[in-house]
Chain A
């Protein structure tokens, strides 16, 4: 178990990279709320991919499905053909949680949190080796948290909290890193330093998936984006996909569940069943059209003034 592929010293071209394949996932919660519907996408290896969508649009649900925290009602997730449970045992997958998922009053120090990233490499008693300690210290150093390592985790600022959990992901040496809303409650300086670190990690061959509802910084660091509102609406390179039109569709459109729940057996649902293209329904695209038209006139107005 100790010998794994993970090693931070490998040059970028020698490092193995891993993509995430999400295959036709649907998730319905026990209160009958449809959270994700026929979502399919592929996160390209060695990229930073932004997962963009409105709050309640299923970003966290997709994350939890990818990490295996919940099992979807339908569909599969794999890491380049490796089932998720196996990928986790191989320490391929690291996860940086949202701030409100953590109990900040827990009696534990920053150092001990980062050490938890190493548990998968230790024997069953979880006694850290010299190597484990070294890697923890290096990870803390890399995110600039060494001097705070003895602090209880609640005694940190918002940005420091994020960096502590980022250090745990680094210590785990996972090749695939998922960050859930990493920029909420973080100042601009920390956001920049996290982005710089993510770009370095990508260049070392890591695959990084970042969920965010903050659109302003996406184009500065994401190679690719996936637009999500209860299903995958669009996916591709940032230049091609991160367009105003697509964003209007993602954030302006009605949630899919409100459209499908009433007409469960109607023929247009079958079109929606095609993985990843749930939105090409005649009725719905008309809806989208009307949503878009609302924003369209404003733009022409501005142009008119300019002229």
Chain B
């Protein structure tokens, strides 16, 4: 008799269990925001992996912290402060690299940790209601209406700029010398790509947090790069992997009661591992079997 009850109840219970998150307003919001953020990051990550700017992404994400704190303290939109400090850090990196004999990785290492440390000091000294934990690890489940607006504006601007300049940016990644030879302004493209990078990080701040943002900026592009020899296809794979990870990750985090950013990035890393091992052309296992 007990098995009868179990059989009669469990399909319904299971169904309820599955759809439960979709009946909650904050979950619906978290799902579509993370999917949107995933799309923006995935598009840019194709350019970042091809250009070899992954470390720069890490740098910008850490450098935004003081900007976020200052913006909150002054009552400005967090996205504005984050963008100013993120972009400022990249300009400073370029300047220090040009003026000293240091190699780029050393310059990046010094400057982003400096910005980050300054941000920590500010966050612990300036009285405000910001939660340092949310800046570091994201908080998409508790995202406010205002933050969503800022996220969407930053993300939409990023997509618009990339869509508008996508061919030139690709040429810039592939062969900056040729870009120069046909009379394009490569300096402008350099700063365009940097500002788009900073904008994307601002977009992803609420979802992944600054520590994991770099994964969203690198992993989808890196996964797609292992699976494709054409840029258009790489872009599609990157976006698919990223959106799928964001949706599944956000959903899973509800049931596991675990960090949302963490779940998303773990899933992305699993996709990457699968591509690395079993990719039809460049997969490690596939190549061994051939």
Contact = CB atoms under 8 A, between A and B. Distances in A.
Interface of A: 30-31, 67-69, 85, 88-91, 93-95, 97, 101-103, 106-109, 112, 116-117, 119-120, 125-126, 152, 168, 172
B50 interface: yes
Nearest to A150: B230
Query: Which of B101, B183, B225, B231 is packed against the most chain A CB atoms within 10 Å?
Result: B183
**B101, B170, B182, B184 — which one has the most chain A CB atoms within 10 A of its CB?**
B182
Interface stretch (B17-25, B72-80, B173-181, B244-252): B173-181
15 contacts: A31-B101, A69-B177, A89-B183, A93-B181, A95-B177, A101-B177, A106-B174, A107-B231, A108-B170, A108-B231, A116-B171, A116-B175, A119-B168, A119-B184, A168-B178
B228 interface: yes
Smallest CB-CB A-B distances: 7 pairs: A89-B183, A126-B167, A120-B182, A88-B183, A152-B229, A95-B181, A107-B231
- The B interface is mostly helix, strand or loop, or mixed, namely helix
B234 interface: yes
B241 to A, nearest CB: 15
Interface in B115-168: 164, 167-168
Contacts of B234: 107
B86 to A, nearest CB: 27
Contacts of A120: 182-184
A169 to B, nearest CB: 9
A97 B175 CA distance: 10
A67 B180 contact: yes
Interface of B: 50, 101, 164, 167-168, 170-171, 173-175, 177-178, 180-184, 225, 228-231, 233-234
A88 to B, nearest CB: 4
A88 B168 contact: no
Contacts of A90: 183
Given A89-B183, A152-B229, A30 B177 contact: no
A88 B182 contact: yes
Given A97-B175, A107-B225, A85 B183 contact: yes
Given A31-B101, A107-B228, A107-B234, A91 B183 contact: yes
Contacts of B173: 106
Contacts of A106: 50, 173-174
A131 B55 CA distance: 41
Contacts of A103: 50, 174
Nearest to A89: B183
B180 A68 contact: yes
Contacts of B50: 103, 106-107
Given A108-B231, A119-B184, A102 B167 contact: no
Contacts of B228: 107
A178 to B, nearest CB: 9
Contacts of A91: 182-183
B167 A119 contact: yes
Contacts of A67: 177, 180-181
Contact of B180 (A88, A94, A107): A88
B206 to A, nearest CB: 31
Contacts of B167: 119, 125-126
A90 B234 CA distance: 33
Contact of B174 (A89, A95, A108, A172): A108
A90 B168 CA distance: 18
Contacts of B184: 119-120
A77 to B, nearest CB: 13
A152 B183 contact: no
B175 A119 contact: no
B180 A69 contact: yes
Contacts of A119: 167-168, 171, 182, 184
Contacts of B231: 107-108, 112
B235 to A, nearest CB: 10
A125 B165 CA distance: 7
A94 B168 CA distance: 17
Given A67-B177, A88-B183, 14 more contacts: A30-B101, A31-B101, A67-B180, A88-B180, A89-B183, A95-B178, A97-B178, A102-B175, A107-B229, A107-B230, A108-B174, A108-B231, A116-B171, A172-B182
Contacts of A172: 182
A125 B174 CA distance: 17
A106 B171 CA distance: 11
Nearest to A128: B167
A89 B183 CA distance: 4
A210 to B, nearest CB: 16
Nearest to B225: A107
Contacts of B233: 107
Contacts of A116: 171, 174-175, 178
A90 B182 CA distance: 8
A91 B182 CA distance: 6
